[in-house]
Structure 1
Amino acid sequence: MDTNMLAVDYPVLNIFWTLLELFLWILWFFLLFKIITDIFRSHDLSGWGKAGWLVLVIILPLIGVLAYLIARGTSMGKRDVEQAQRSEAAFKAYIRDAAGTAPGEAGGGGGPGGGAGRSHVDDLARLADLKDRGAISDEEYQRAKDRILS
């Protein structure tokens, strides 16, 4: 087949529409799996409630997904935030455990690290906490971090 014939048979606009359709299908499946995951993660739904939503989402996907987003969309966002906070807390606990210090081990005393029982990890964690609470600016955070690490 001649390459010029292929270009005429499938113009650029059709390529654009095909890519748009492909993107929308991928978006649809992402949303569907996100909702199914949220159904199973939700603690405020009973077993029958989860089964009902799951059947609705699988049997009538368009209506089920839209109904779920309308009925439970805000609580879905809250569960995502709670999951992210739990993951972050677990990660910070893992870092402290790997560094070999506990949050209450920060003792007083003088030394280059700031205390006898404190490590750079504790200082950086406290500094990040201050930044998260808005007590210090990004510039102050960077300067203090540079001092701790030097």
Structure 2
Amino acid sequence: MHVFADTVTYHGFWGSFWDIIWWFITIFVFFAYLMALFSVIIDLFRDRKLNGWWKALWIIFLIFVPFLTVLVYLIARGGGMAERSASQAKQAQSATDDYIRQVAGASPSEEIAKAKALLDAGTITQAEYETIKAKALG
């Protein structure tokens, strides 16, 4: 029996269009799984109602049976995940708004009104009033 060396061809890693598509799908599924895994871990530590022992048990299962544990967690506690995530986003937005209000200070109209009151009281001159007004408007 004679086997020709050229009958079996090897196209390499990028040999076929479908091989490339398969690799992209595999990589996508892997990263989607990692995102779900990290979402579950973050949610475990965000949940204040869950006891520390239950958190430890979930982490142990995530280490030894990761894919199944992620699926069970998403099915059993998925609704709570959404609520906790929305609550945290709301708190972060509120903190950001408070910080912006604190840093921004008074509005331009308030600054001009204060400067006008100082001008009327004779505390500042007309030139200083115009400078404050230009700075508030600009």
Mark yes or no: TM-score above 0.5: yes
Relative to the length of structure 1, the TM-score reads 0.62
Larger radius of gyration: 2
Match of 1:53 among 50, 54, 58: 58
Q: Which runs of 5+ in 1 are unaligned?
A: 107-111, 118-148
What is the distance in 2 between the residues matched to 1:21 and 1:31? 15
Q: Which runs of 5+ in 2 are unaligned?
A: 1-9, 115-136
SS at 1:10 equivalent: coil
1:9/1:80 Cα in 2 relative to 1: closer, same or farther (>3 Å)?
closer
SS at 1:82 equivalent: helix
1:99 equivalent in structure 2: 104
1:33/1:20 Cα in 2 relative to 1: closer, same or farther (>3 Å)?
same
Q: Does residue 113 of structure 1 match 2:109?
A: yes
Question: 1:78 is matched by which residue type in structure 2?
Answer: E
Give me the identity figure in percent: 36
1:30 equivalent in structure 2: 35
- The offset of 1:8, in angstroms, is 9.5
Question: 1:88 is matched by which residue type in structure 2?
Answer: Q
SS at 1:113 equivalent: helix
Aligned pairs for 1:1-150 within 5 A = 6=11, 10-101=15-106, 113=109, 116=113
Kindly report structure 1 stretches of 4+ aligned residues shifted beyond 2 Å.
5-9, 112-117
- The offset of 1:31, in angstroms, is 0.8
What is the distance in 1 between the residues matched to 2:93 and 2:13? 54
Question: 1:76 is matched by which residue type in structure 2?
Answer: M
What is the distance in 1 between the residues matched to 2:73 and 2:96? 31
Query: What root-mean-square deviation, in Å, do the aligned CA atoms of Structure 1 and Structure 2 show?
Result: 2.6
- For CA contacts below 8 A with separation 6 or more, give which structure has more relative contact order: 2
What is the distance in 1 between the residues matched to 2:53 and 2:12? 54
1:11/1:56 Cα in 2 relative to 1: closer, same or farther (>3 Å)?
same
Q: Is the 8 A contact 2:43 2:81 kept in 1?
A: yes
- The offset of 1:100, in angstroms, is 2.2
